[in-house]
Chains A and B, each alone.
Chain A
């Protein structure tokens, strides 16, 4: 069995389960990156459940505690890459560029059978590797991406190297649209195009939200698709919540160029009650017990699950 549950559930089912799990976690912990689950659940489910060729996890189902940072003397150090399968010539690699999507990514690892549900209990706990902003050693994370805009460049370098080595495995970067405000993203696209790095592809969660609020109120970025094309990428645009459309976009030919799928998403998909919080969606926390209870009931109903039992609270 090797713990491989791949394709036993549909990508849509996994996406629904990711939303439910992140919702439960957010309600229990009085806050969380809930909107990112609303926007990105199908994308991450699509990557792990069908789009990527990942081998079985090489890491324990319950994540080991933090074992120190990389140093010349730390022989115990391991990244979280093993949760995405063995680093060999045939398998794909995945970078989660916006590391604050970690909660959603961890929930996805659980739903695809790569991490035990207990792993999420360690989220943001002192001494745990299941960090709030995904670190290199956090489950499913392969490199540090907490500083936004560096993921695509790193992916391009790795992909160039893999191509040079004749490796079959490709490199995928999950990106956020806020990253197009960073100049480095454009440097990365032009370099990937110039060096014809076509074993590199990205899926970008275009939810039009960033930390301060709606992107258009923080810094307008214009037509991302046209800009990416002008910098040398092949671009496919889809509804992020339509798995069949994601599948079709992934099949877009992109010989000699990187492929970037713009997945246009709703930051409240499946949890329309969150609209009340718009545009303050980056991190959802509750100001009062009443607000928490109200959201618990309303979103649970939307997700078709029972409200989280908050016990004495």
Chain B
């Protein structure tokens, strides 16, 4: 698989230098968010706000009022958990054009509970005026910078960093989901890092005779419920959602709401964190431990079809294993 090193760093820099109203804000995680080069080369467009996220969010609201479009860089969890009140009052309510770039979504960090944004989608999508995006590959990370900046209001983006696979060759477009397979047995809905897992399982499932319809979401709000319902209506056995997030409030909930509101009866299996915190560990380990990897998807398909596929670990494409310490990352986190 084609791997891209630090796609955000170059995409942000090339975009921001063309747009002087774009400001680069950081809360002491500058190299961890791949903007250290930008800081060094464009210090006039960079604002260090220190480990003080509550101030950073209200300050960004003030910058928005002055006509700037600040891009806030931190780990996703630090952009909403502590400064939630500031997010509401200073950014979301007045529809400031603030771009919240949330790095290390869900279990992509070994940092454990304090570092893992596992309820960010649930929180963000309930906030009026907020747009919520999630990147699933290097192309989406590269294209989301300019795309997010077109939003007339605040936007939260789950960003992948470091060495990121390239799965797609067309840019992320807000509101446009990707139809990756058009099978007729089960519908699999993924986003972010779960897309790669589903792709790993798809070949094996196909060989086992299961026809998979696969949707990749990058726009979680606004959510295209009508299209989800249409795809769900075209499969026999039911729907599986796979998310790097709690199943409550995230993609699983969105799909359930869409099906219920449309009156479409389909069984639904929601893979992801099941009302639990995660802990620190490598991404493949955590995805397996919490049941959000390719193997978990095979199990979910078997539950829906009621038939064993005969697929074992070996028949799944080899899991991509990333070294915990690599030059693509600023620190072990």
A binding-site residues for B, Cβ under 8 Å? 69-72, 79, 136, 143-147, 149-150, 153-162, 164-165, 183-184, 187-188, 190-191, 194-195
In the complex where A161-B66, A194-B50 touch, is A150 in contact with B58 (Cβ < 8 A)?
A: yes
CB pair B89 A184 closer than 8 Å: no
Residue of B nearest to A184 (CB): B54
CB pair B90 A161 closer than 8 Å: no
Residue of A nearest to B54 (CB): A184
Does B65 touch A at the CB level, under 8 Å? yes
CB pair A146 B89 closer than 8 Å: yes
CB pair A154 B90 closer than 8 Å: yes
16 contacts between A and B (CB under 8 A): A69-B128, A70-B95, A143-B65, A143-B89, A145-B89, A154-B58, A156-B59, A157-B64, A157-B65, A158-B62, A162-B66, A165-B67, A184-B54, A188-B59, A191-B52, A191-B59
Q: Kindly list chain B residues whose C-beta atoms are within 8 Å of the C-beta of A184.
A: 54-55, 58, 86
In the complex where A70-B93, A72-B129, A150-B86 touch, is A188 in contact with B58 (Cβ < 8 A)?
A: yes
Contact of A136 among B64, B94, B153 (CB under 8 A): B94
CB pair B65 A72 closer than 8 Å: no
Q: Map CB proximity to A onto B125-141 as digits: 1 under 8 Å, 0 otherwise.
A: 00011000000000000
Taken together as a complex, chains A and B put the C-alpha atoms of A69 and B89 apart, in Å, by: 12
A17 to chain B, nearest CB (A): 31
Taken together as a complex, chains A and B put the C-alpha atoms of A160 and B48 apart, in Å, by: 13
Q: Kindly list chain B residues whose C-beta atoms are within 8 Å of the C-beta of A160.
A: 47, 59, 62-63, 66
Contact of B65 among A149, A154, A194 (CB under 8 A): A154
CB pair A147 B59 closer than 8 Å: no
Taken together as a complex, chains A and B put the C-alpha atoms of A69 and B88 apart, in Å, by: 13
Q: Map CB proximity to A onto B84-127 as digits: 1 under 8 Å, 0 otherwise.
A: 01100110011100000000000000000000000000000000
B55, B65, B93, B129 pick with most chain A CB within 10 angstroms: B55
In the complex where A187-B52, A191-B55 touch, is A161 in contact with B129 (Cβ < 8 A)?
A: no
In the complex where A184-B55, A191-B50 touch, is A158 in contact with B153 (Cβ < 8 A)?
A: no
Taken together as a complex, chains A and B put the C-alpha atoms of A70 and B93 apart, in Å, by: 7
CB pair B90 A71 closer than 8 Å: no
Q: Kindly list chain B residues whose C-beta atoms are within 8 Å of the C-beta of A155.
A: 62
CB pair A136 B59 closer than 8 Å: no
User: Which positions 8-65 of chain B face chain A at CB distance < 8 Å?
Assistant: 47-50, 52, 54-65
Q: Kindly list chain B residues whose C-beta atoms are within 8 Å of the C-beta of A164.
A: 66, 68
Sorted from nearest, which 4 A-B pairs have the closest CB atoms?
A: A157-B62, A161-B66, A153-B58, A187-B55
Residue of A nearest to B83 (CB): A184
A181 to chain B, nearest CB (A): 14
In the complex where A71-B129, A150-B90 touch, is A157 in contact with B52 (Cβ < 8 A)?
A: no
Interface residues on B, range: 20 to 34
B binding-site residues for A, Cβ under 8 Å? 47-50, 52, 54-68, 85-86, 89-90, 93-95, 128-129, 152-153
Q: Kindly list chain A residues whose C-beta atoms are within 8 Å of the C-beta of B57.
A: 153
CB pair B128 A71 closer than 8 Å: yes
Q: Kindly list chain B residues whose C-beta atoms are within 8 Å of the C-beta of A183.
A: 54
Residue of A nearest to B93 (CB): A144
Q: Kindly list chain B residues whose C-beta atoms are within 8 Å of the C-beta of A154.
A: 58-59, 61-62, 65, 90
Taken together as a complex, chains A and B put the C-alpha atoms of A251 and B47 apart, in Å, by: 29
Q: Kindly list chain A residues whose C-beta atoms are within 8 Å of the C-beta of B60.
A: 157
CB pair B62 A159 closer than 8 Å: yes
CB pair A156 B95 closer than 8 Å: no
CB pair A161 B52 closer than 8 Å: no
Taken together as a complex, chains A and B put the C-alpha atoms of A195 and B44 apart, in Å, by: 12
Q: Kindly list chain B residues whose C-beta atoms are within 8 Å of the C-beta of A194.
A: 48, 50
A70, A155, A159 pick with most chain B CB within 10 angstroms: A70
Taken together as a complex, chains A and B put the C-alpha atoms of A184 and B62 apart, in Å, by: 15
Q: Kindly list chain B residues whose C-beta atoms are within 8 Å of the C-beta of A187.
A: 50, 52, 54-55
Taken together as a complex, chains A and B put the C-alpha atoms of A72 and B129 apart, in Å, by: 7
CB pair B54 A161 closer than 8 Å: no
6 more contacts with CB within 8 A, not counting A153-B59, A155-B62, A157-B58, are A69-B128, A79-B94, A136-B94, A143-B89, A150-B90, A161-B68
Taken together as a complex, chains A and B put the C-alpha atoms of A147 and B93 apart, in Å, by: 13
A180 to chain B, nearest CB (A): 14
Taken together as a complex, chains A and B put the C-alpha atoms of A136 and B96 apart, in Å, by: 13
CB pair A161 B63 closer than 8 Å: yes
CB pair B59 A165 closer than 8 Å: no
B23 to chain A, nearest CB (A): 9
Q: Kindly list chain A residues whose C-beta atoms are within 8 Å of the C-beta of B56.
A: 191
A220 to chain B, nearest CB (A): 22
CB pair A157 B61 closer than 8 Å: yes
Q: Kindly list chain A residues whose C-beta atoms are within 8 Å of the C-beta of B58.
A: 150, 153-154, 157, 184, 188
